[in-house]
Amino acid sequence: MNKEQKEIQALLDQLAKYFIFHKTAPVTIQYTIAIALLEEESQIGSLYRDVYPNDPEKLGLELLQLAAESNHRDAMYELGWRLLEEENSKGETWLRLAAEAGHVEA
């Protein structure tokens, strides 16, 4: 991982922690940062997890949950699918809520 990637990861981590703690960020920003962190997690894999001070997946899921709870329909949909992949029964609930909120694919 190069210096620029480390700086971006550190910034995402700081933003995620701030928005999780304060819960006042615009929902779209919460969702965007959550997706960025979750995509980063899928790219780094377990080999590089010890390089990061924080777990990008955990931070991403926390922000995704906050955005979903704030009725962001894309966040509801994404969270629903991620929970279903983990065989978590709450996934169906989030997908239903996303559909009720107007998400076309839900």
pLDDT in tens, 8-51: 777 777 777 777 777 666 788 888 888 887 876 666 554 445 55
pLDDT digit string (tens) for 23-33? 666 788 888 88
CA distances from 29 to 10, 26, 85 (A): 17, 5, 24
> Residue 13's closest CA among 29, 28, 44, 34?
34
For residue 88, what is the DSSP state?
Answer: -
Q: Is the pLDDT of residue 97 over 90?
A: yes
Give the pLDDT score at 86.
86
> Residue 75's closest CA among 85, 62, 88, 65?
65
Give the pLDDT score at 98.
95
Alpha carbon 14 to its chain centroid, in Å, reads 14
Q: Using an 8 Å Cβ cutoff, are 33 and 16 in contact?
A: yes
pTM, two decimals, is: 0.69
Cα separation, 106 vs 98, in Å, equals 6
